[in-house]
Chains A and B, each alone.
Chain A
Amino acid sequence: MTLTKKMQTGLPRRTVLAGMAAAGATAMMPQRIRAQEQVTIRWWSPQSSPEQMAAYETQIRNFEALHENVKVVFEKTSDEGYAPQLAAAFASGDVPNVVTHLPSFAVSNYWRNGLLEPFNDVIEMIGPDKFYDGVNRIYEIDEGQYAGTSIGNSAANVIWLRKDLMEQAGIDKNPRTWDELLSAVGKMQGNGIYGAPLPYGRNSMTSLIFIGVIHQAGGQVFTPDLQVAIDSQETRDALEFYRAMREFCPPGATNYSWGDSLTAFVSGACATGIYTGRVLINVNNQNPGIADSVTCDLYPTKSADIEPWTFNDFPSVFIPKAAPNMDVTKQFAAFLFDPEGYIQQLHAAPGHVLPVLRTIGSDPAYQNNEIIQKYSDEVEKMSSAAANGFNLGWESTAHQPNTRAGEVVNSGVIAELVQRVVLNDENVDQVLGETTARIEEIMAG
């Protein structure tokens, strides 16, 4: 009634009809055309501490400001849970657009099965010259094709030390060899403090740390052409060292994973630790009383003539091939390296995830951080070690990329090797034989 009256007095009938026609045409417009107006980008990562989440929000906000039709949604996954979540996503086709911070060996497996979009365009957008040398080589599984790139470096198995406890125990230098380490933790253990929080649980941490110990004995899990080489004297030495360290670890270390091991050192319950640079921010926030006494070094080796071997999981960024809105997705993946957001992300846990762009490493804005300045020697040491680091997907510069490494780690076969020999005292020859057979079976698919 009112409308009719208004039409009579205000709007001409032709205008109203034209408006109705336009509205009708809009309603009949194909869904796809209208959908182009609003794009949603889904971003998955297992790294989601409150500080990191704040950094992600900055990155998302800045990207959305540049792309008004884009909405970015962050979704958490976890180190132990990403495999089933991604498996379900890939199987259903309902994949996230961008996935970050998974270890490189997980990425290579997905790449080998044709599930990932080549990352070359994104690397070009970021600028290949900006990366530190060699950062991308682990992702070049097929020549000239990159499965992803590193969003950071990590030095996951550096040894953390308490200078105050070392001084009290009369230890004047950081342990370089296993014998020195065993002696040091023996001296520092006591008065409710344990020597070390090495993991003995049936989990990925035990597998990954023990792979490092095998290398610190001078051994390897695979030969460069990926034949299983774990049944060696070096592995037996590594197991003996791990067994010797058991008496200096808390009783519950038999079930320790990353979080437990980190907390054991940060809380002051253990004189040494084994973790990434996340220790720095956690000590300063949660146990500032020991913050001035904390330092780190490369993990000791069996003898001084064996070079340290640093585990770098090369936290990744990659794009599933089935991701929708590929152009915007690639732009967003490249935008993750935009200095403002990237530096905030690195500052969320200084020293934990280290920059992979030389332009960021030398950026005063990155250096302008209380933790990085206070522990500049430690951060430098970790950066250098991580840059020369390896993991099971790429054990040395001579090794081929191992696209089955993720399955070997996820199978728990190496953690079980540790548990059976060290905790259950089973026959080492038999266990190593069975472990070799199981890894060969996994490699055979």
Chain B
Amino acid sequence: MTAIATDPPMLERRYARLGVVLIAPTILVFSLVIVYPLLAAIYLSLFSIYTPTLQGEFVGLDNYAKLLTQKAFWSSLGTTLIWTVGTLSLQILAGVGLALLLHQNIWFRSLARSLVLFPYFLSTVVAVLVWRWLFNDLYGALNHGLMQLGVIDMPLDWLGSMPNAMIGVILVGAWKYFPFVVIAVLARLQTIPEHLYEAARIDGAGPVSRFFDVTLPQLRSVLTVIILLRAIWDFKEFDLLYLLTGGGPVTSTQTLSLLVYQEAFGLNRMGQAAAYSVGMMLVMLVFMILYIRRTGRES
């Protein structure tokens, strides 16, 4: 007791050592699954490497010079941004709209809240197969329905021509991932104090005013986090796009993830693919810094 009272630095050192011991497993796992692959990608990007053997020669910054001078990277970056902004906007609109609906006292609300999560839980492969069937020109339900309604005379080519292909993947992406927005927004809606709405009503605010003046400001913080997280996830989306269009027609839906895949496994150029990955990571870093600053400010 006396020792503790008279020697606080020793206690602090003990606590510090304990802290290091406790955090060491996390640091170790973090290093293995994040830091090592990151450094490996940067290292690989300095070589010309044949993928199946991982053998190659040092080429310095040549892969980055190609990245900057050839249009493939910039074209795919543009496509990635169009896809990300397009699908994210729809996810937010649909997600907030449905969350507001499910926050009301409607019939079968519990069932509806469960069902709305269905697309998010569905395997991407299964979802894409279903959507490819819906989009099919010969026996797809979408074309069949539109023709029955007299909206179109001939089947539409949904995934093989532009801009239909981009619209198609954006729609499927929005359908697949909007439940995440619903879950997060619904949780936040349930914590907004009811007295704020009462006060607004007393002041004569209608439903639209209450949404913009009460609900939206209350949702702002959660929406910011959702947008940043989903932007990061959508930016690096691979399977949905690869399975729906393969990046076509030509390279119209070829995002950076597909470009990396193509270089690494289509052309067996792991070094160039790693350089593209590093470039992609630098773009994503912007989103991550925003996210970290935002969450840091909130905490």
Contacts and interface: CB of A to CB of B under 8 A. Distances in A.
Interface stretch (B12-20, B180-188, B212-220, B246-254): B246-254
Given A91-B53, A251-B156, A252-B158, A410 B265 contact: yes
A442 B268 CA distance: 10
B245 interface: yes
Interface stretch (B2-10, B103-111, B116-124, B135-143): B135-143
Contacts of A203: 246, 248
Nearest to B138: A269
Given A202-B247, A202-B248, A410 B267 contact: yes
A255 to B, nearest CB: 4
A411 B52 contact: no
6 contacts: A201-B249, A202-B248, A252-B159, A253-B160, A412-B262, A416-B251
Contact of A420 (B52, B245, B250): B250
Interface of A: 83-84, 86-87, 90-91, 109-110, 113-115, 200-203, 250-256, 264, 267, 269, 407, 410-412, 415-416, 419-420, 423-424, 442
Contact of A442 (B52, B137, B138, B267): B267
Interface of B: 50-54, 135-139, 154-161, 165, 245-251, 261-262, 264-268
Query: In terms of DSSP, what is the predominant structure of the interface of chain B?
Result: loop
Contact of B264 (A84, A86, A251, A252): A84
A252 B136 contact: yes
B88 to A, nearest CB: 25
Contacts of B251: 202, 416
A264 B136 CA distance: 11
Nearest to A114: B53
A115 B50 CA distance: 12
Most buried by A among B52, B53, B261: B52
B250 A250 contact: no
B160 A254 contact: yes
A96 to B, nearest CB: 13
Nearest to B253: A202
Contacts of B138: 250, 252, 264, 267, 269
Contact of A87 (B51, B135, B155): B51
A420 B250 CA distance: 7
Contact of A423 (B159, B246, B249): B249
B53 A84 contact: no
A91 B267 contact: no
Contacts of B161: 254, 423
B147 to A, nearest CB: 11
Contacts of A255: 157, 159-160, 165, 245, 248-249
Nearest to A418: B250
A5 to B, nearest CB: 50
Nearest to A410: B266
A419 B159 contact: no
A256 B54 CA distance: 33
A69 to B, nearest CB: 31
A411 B268 CA distance: 10
A113 B249 contact: no
Contacts of A267: 138-139
